[in-house]
Amino acid sequence: MSSLAYDLHVLVRSLDRSAEVRLAPFGLTYARYLALVVVGDHDDLTQRELAAALGQSEPTASRTAAALADAGWLNVVRTPGTGNRRLLRLTPSGSDLLDRASASLGNDFDDVVRSIGQDPDHLAAQVRRLTATLEESS
Domain that holds residue 86: 4-137
CA distance linking residue 115 with residue 16, whole number of Å? 19
Q: Could you give the CA distance from residue 80 to residue 97 in angstroms, rounded to a whole number?
A: 29
- Tell me if the pTM is above 0.85: no
Would you write out the chain's pLDDT as a tens digit for each of its 138 residues?
789 999 999 999 999 999 999 999 999 999 999 999 999 999 789 999 999 999 999 999 999 999 999 999 999 888 776 666 789 999 999 999 999 999 988 888 889 999 999 999 999 999 999 989 988 987
Provide the number of structural domains found in the chain. Answer: 1
Residue 126 sits in a domain whose CATH number is: 1.10.10.10
pLDDT of 75-115, one tens digit each?
Answer: 988 877 666 678 999 999 999 999 999 998 888 888 999 99
Number of H helices, E strands in the chain: 6, 3
Q: First vs last Cα of the chain: how many Å apart?
A: 26
